[in-house]
Amino acid sequence: MELALTLGDTSKPFSFLDKAPKMAGDKESGNRDLGFCMGLGVSGRSSRGGGDEEEDGDGDKRESPATDRRHHQQHHPPSTLLQLHLLPFSPTNPRNSHHSHKPSTSQFRLPWLTDHLGSEPESSGGAGRGLDVNRFPAAEEAEQSSPNSALSSFQMEFGIRSGGGAGFRSGSHKRVDMEGDNERDCSRGSDDDDNGLTRKKLRLSKEQSAFLEESFKEHNTLNPKQKLALAKQLNLRPRQVEVWFQNRRARTKLKQTEIDCEYLKRCCETLTEENRRLQKELQELRALKTSQPFYMQLPATTLTMCPSCERVATTTAPASSPAAAAAAPPLAKPKPRTYPFPHAPQLHHLPQAQPQAHQAAS
């Protein structure tokens, strides 16, 4: 006798999953509840959500070959098999989306970045530890002036306490590669080289963080214009905004990885349990087989698990008699399964892929 359990597409939702947050990709993947076929797209890189491509300011949708290459592995096949979206949150990958409107260096050269390179005196920050290394002139003025003065009050608020301060590389951080240790030594500064270049790390104010956070929800990467706008609005240096977004992306990814890990663990536990149960079921069936010699006389019969009703049905083998098969009672009715998929948990408040209209200005 041949036994085959086919655990396939089931229309039953898995109770286990009911509590799991829905994923962004559910609609796309048809929200199918499928069993036992796992395609685990485990990767350090985020797979992309619905909007795989981001329209940049020029309106041209594209995905760079490299990006495509990177993400290709995680692109879900159109199969109806279970798809574990392990990294579903992944917002758009706007990477490279800015390239088409990359500003020339001169276009975005910021006076305060160069003017104050290395010229920010340690004592310029003001009271106590509150050395506002980040502060550029506008902010300083803002601080000195009344909160109700000319500058927009919003901008004013952020100007009061802008932190950070290591970004002495005037935006072109890559130039370290070219310029080598000189720059590094310079930027590192030190006690002996105390021209204000010491790496000071000041926390961003709540308002600044909140604003950045809001911005991150809308788009998790920045084009140069957005960066500049944010920097201006928050009285930060563009480099700080850029760094914040980089770190923010890293944190998001880390968090998602943790979630995925936890989720996989649960998957594993559930599948182990399911496996145990099926093994037991199999043993019972075998025991039944030996206790009912009637079936022994039947030719090979395939027992198939009906995916919809979850009953074990007999599939008549070529030589079996239909009458005998029909007489065979249903052998078992398995308990409802609780597969932990396909809904992988997902971080909340993740930026969605969306065409960035504000880039149109660029």
Q: Stretches 72-80, 119-127, 194-202, 337-345: which one binds DNA (CB under 7 A)?
A: 194-202
Using CB under 7 A as the binding rule, whether residue 93 contacts DNA is answered as: yes
Using CB under 7 A as the binding rule, whether residue 198 contacts DNA is answered as: yes
Using CB under 7 A as the binding rule, whether residue 104 contacts DNA is answered as: yes
164, 134 Cβ separation under 8 angstroms? yes
Taking the C-alpha atoms of residue 228 and residue 240, their distance in angstroms, rounded to an integer, is 10
Residue among 10, 240, 316, 359 that touches DNA (CB under 7 A): 240
Site string for DNA, 241-280 (x = CB under 7 A): -xxxxxxxxxx-x---------------------------
**At how many degrees (to 10) do helices 238-291 and 206-218 cross?**
60
Q: With CB under 7 A, what is the number of residues at the site for DNA?
A: 67
Torsion over CA: 102, 105, 107, 111 (sign): positive
Q: Stretches 11-19, 239-247, 338-346, 349-357: which one binds DNA (CB under 7 A)?
A: 239-247
Q: Stretches 23-31, 100-108, 262-270, 353-361: which one binds DNA (CB under 7 A)?
A: 100-108
Using CB under 7 A as the binding rule, whether residue 227 contacts DNA is answered as: yes
Q: Phi and psi of 178, rounded to 5°?
A: -80, -40
Q: Least distance to DNA from the beta carbon of 329, Å?
A: 55
Site string for DNA, 159-188 (x = CB under 7 A): ----xxxxxxx-xxxx-xxx----xx--xx
Using CB under 7 A as the binding rule, whether residue 202 contacts DNA is answered as: yes
Using CB under 7 A as the binding rule, whether residue 44 contacts DNA is answered as: yes
Q: Least distance to DNA from the beta carbon of 224, Å?
A: 4
Outline where the chain has alpha helix (H).
15-18, 65-72, 111-115, 137-144, 153-160, 175-179, 181-188, 206-218, 224-234, 238-291, 293-296, 322-327
CA angle, 143 as apex, 140 and 148 as ends, to 5°? 135
Taking the C-alpha atoms of residue 233 and residue 259, their distance in angstroms, rounded to an integer, is 34
Amino acid at 276: R
Residue of 270, 252, 253, 254 lying closest to 17 (CA atoms) = 270
For 172-176, which contacts have Cβ atoms below 8 Å and span 24 or more sequence positions?
A: 172/105, 173/239
299, 318 Cβ separation under 8 angstroms? yes
Residue ranges in 66-85 that form contacts with DNA under rule CB under 7 A: 66-67, 69
**Would you tell me which residues interact with DNA (CB under 7 A)?**
44-45, 62, 64-67, 69, 93-96, 98-100, 102-105, 108, 129, 133-134, 163-169, 171-174, 176-178, 183-184, 187-188, 198-204, 209, 221-224, 227, 239-240, 242-251, 253
